[in-house]
Amino acid sequence: MTTTTRTERTVLDDARDQLAEAVKILGLPADVHAMLAEPRRELSVSIPLRRDDGSIEVLRGYRVQHNYSRGPGKGGVRFDDAVDLDEVRALAMWMTWKCALLDVPYGGAKGGVRIDPRRYSIAELERVTRRYTSEIAPIIGPEIDIPAPDIGTDERTMAWMMDTYSVGRGHTVLGVVTGKPIALGGSQGRAAATSRGVVAVSLEVLHHLGIRPEGATAAVQGFGKVGRGAARFLAEEGLRVVAVSDVDGAISHPDGLDLPALEAYVDETGSVVGFPGSSPISGEEVLAAEVDLLVPAAVEGVIHAGNAEAVRARVIVEGANGPLSADADRILGERGVLVVPDILANAGGVVVSYFEWVQANQSYWWTEAEVNEKLVDRMTHAWRDVLVYATERHLSLRLAATCMAVERVWRAHEVRGLYP
């Protein structure tokens, strides 16, 4: 019998290693890692889709609930052709730490469908979303697990999910998902929350390093939900965003890109490629740009052992989940590059998702100014807490943030006790 050995590391390996190191530093019992490394519940579902031409295609979807010791599960749903179960497991674990670190009363969850949404019509995506929702409906709900948008999904996707779930319950359930349209109980400020949180933390980090935002330079890898807003807000704060990229290519301008004009161009063409007045560059050149601040805001693993030495930014603020591999994290740390981890940097989305859930449960909505003020306050306090923890214990920001989060989750689990 022939056996094969997997040698390539996955994001789940990185997530579990981060947990193991935090458990060791905290001096917790050895069995804590075994308990927290495994999801509490996971579901894999088949999604048959009738295409517009009448043919049938079968897709695969997942929902993983990593931990709910501190509250119901919370995490996005992504539509991406690279989605697999290990990726969803890792993302669900990171959501657990993210919620604990920001002191949001949720546990971590994540979902996904293996599909490239660009290859499907709106009608087909609606059918996929509704079938996926009906399949995972038994394990989601406003007091069980609350999905939200992620890569490849948006507020329209959440509207379809909320409607499908509500039809099954016989009444409207606004709190079953977050990131919904305003007309369906969505929160002001939710669409830009992750981007705004990334920028709030970025400004704190620059201040910590004595770098004035006015005239500082930035590069943003990814020009989707997170990267686009982050680039705009950074420019509004006075930074020169000199390079950006999307899935189709990358552009640069040494004096800073005109972000309002670029956004209008992307709305018209669908890509940053060919933006008038910019120079075409490669995606790797964006990551290697000589800037004060680099925001990787696309997918996991874009900075790895093969390209970490080329990174020249002074600060990296992780807009995406897991954009640095463990090897890259080590290499950059040894070089003195300050890395703000994803579970802190991009937590703005889950913070405002929590605000949306609270508002839906109360049937009382806040103004955008109130939401943004509460978000920035939560993000800046979390940054300062992590910085103090890291400084006092001589840890990296990632290890400090993970230790703080793991300790909070374990404390909740310990107080609740282990059900026989």
For residue 293, how many C-alpha atoms fall within 13 Å in the half-sphere facing its CB? 36
Task: Spell out where 327-377 has E strands.
Answer: 338-340
The mean pLDDT of 27-33, rounded to a whole number, is: 88
> Whole-angstrom Cα distance, residue 258 to residue 245?
14
Q: How would residue 2 be classed by pLDDT, with cut points 50, 70 and 90?
A: very low
Closest CA to 336 of 209, 214, 233: 209
Report whether 20 contacts 33 (CB < 8 A). Answer: yes
Q: What's the CA angle centered on 110, arms 106 and 116, to 5 degrees?
A: 150
Check whether 281 has a pLDDT greater than 90.
yes
Check whether 1 has a pLDDT greater than 90.
no
Q: How many residues belong to the chain?
A: 420
pLDDT value of position 7: 55
pLDDT value of position 101: 95
Q: How would residue 31 be classed by pLDDT, with cut points 50, 70 and 90?
A: confident
Non-local CB neighbours of 302 within 8 Å, separated by 6+ positions:
221, 287, 296, 320, 323
Check whether 6 has a pLDDT greater than 70.
no
pLDDT digits (tens, 9 = 90+) for 322-380: 899 888 999 999 999 999 999 999 999 999 999 998 988 888 889 999 999 999 999 99
Query: How far, CA to CA in Å, does 291 sit from each of 86, 279, 369?
Result: 33, 17, 31
pLDDT value of position 207: 95
Average pLDDT, the chain: 93
Q: In this structure, what are the phi and psi dihedrals at residue 244, rounded to the nearest 5 degrees?
A: -140, 160
pLDDT digits (tens, 9 = 90+) for 120-144: 999 999 999 999 999 999 999 999 9
CA 8 to chain centre: 23
Q: CATH number of the domain at 193-340, please?
A: 3.40.50.720
pLDDT value of position 374: 95
Domains 40-172 and 193-340 share a fold: yes
pLDDT digits (tens, 9 = 90+) for 220-273: 999 988 999 999 999 999 999 999 999 899 999 999 999 999 999 999 999 999
Check whether 218 has a pLDDT greater than 80.
yes
pLDDT value of position 360: 85
CATH 3.40.50.720 for domain 40-172, yes or no, is no
Task: Spell out where 210-260 has E strands.
Answer: 217-221, 240-246, 249-252
> Whole-angstrom Cα distance, residue 56 to residue 353?
35
pLDDT value of position 417: 83
What is the residue extent of each domain of the chain?
A: 40-172, 193-340
As beta bridge partners, residue 57 has 49
Check whether 5 has a pLDDT greater than 70.
no
What angle, 0 to 180 degrees and rounded to 10, lies between the N-to-C axes of helices 368-393 and 348-362? 130
The mean pLDDT of 206-232, rounded to a whole number, is: 94
Catalytic residues: 110
Which strand (E) or helix (H) includes residue 284? helix 283-287
- CB count, 10 Å around CB of 37? 17
